[in-house]
């Protein structure tokens, strides 16, 4: 069982928006602004999409945005495109021996 909780699936039509939640605790998401989001296509390594809650690495489209409130972080993908269909994982720095915790993943389907 993953430390961070994500819904198993989300979907939207092309051009629409989808928002994925990621719920942690006061020891991880609630305490730190070091929340990241990763996109993973089948058979591939994860790709960093968001860091520090809402920052995008170079090359990541601005259709991807992040936010946080309390112990819950969110990723929004606006203007859905076919290539956005993938698994998305959240992660957070944590105040425990295990320094980084991940979510179980959300499969985004573009209808």
Partner 1 sequence: EVQLVESGGGLVKPGGSLRLSCVTSGITFGNAWMTWVRQAPGKGPEWVGRIKDISQGATTDYAASLQGRFSISRDDSKKMVYLQMDSLRTEDTAVYYCAAGLCVGTNCHWDDAFEIWGQGTMVVVSS
Q: Could you list the residues that contact partner 1 (CB under 8 A)?
A: 2, 6, 32, 34, 36, 38, 45-48, 51-52, 57, 89, 91-93, 96-105
CB 13 to partner 1: min, Å: 26
The nearer residue to partner 1, 38 or 64, going by C-beta atoms, is 38
- Smallest separation, CB 52 to partner 1 (Å): 7
Which two three-digit tokens encode residue 52? 């520090």
> In the complex with partner 1, which residue's Cβ is closer, 18 or 49?
49
Beta carbon nearer to partner 1, 12 or 46: 46
Provide the 10 A C-beta neighbour count for residue 109: 13
Token couple for 56: 């995008």
Q: Taking the mean position of all CA atoms in its chain, how far away is CA 84?
A: 13
CB closer to partner 1, 15 vs 100: 100
Assigned token pair, 12: 């939207």
Nearest distance in Å: CB 102, partner 1: 5
Burial class (CB in 10 A: 0-12, 13-18, 19+), 45: exposed
CA distance 81 to 12: 9
**Least distance from C-beta 55 to partner 1, angstroms?**
8
């Amino acid at each position: 069982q993953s430390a961070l909780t994500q819904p198993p699936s989300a979907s939207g039509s092309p051009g629409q928006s989808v928002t994925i939640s990621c719920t942690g605790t006061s020891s991880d998401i609630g305490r730190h602004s070091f929340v990241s989001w990763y996109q993973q296509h089948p058979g591939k390594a994860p790709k960093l999409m968001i860091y520090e809650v809402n920052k995008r690495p170079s090359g990541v489209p601005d259709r991807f945005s992040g936010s946080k409130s309390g112990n819950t972080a969110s990723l929004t993908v606006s203007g859905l495109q076919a290539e956005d269909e993938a698994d998305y994982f959240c992660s957070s720095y944590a105040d425990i021996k295990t320094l980084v915790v991940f979510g179980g993943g959300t499969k985004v389907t573009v209808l």
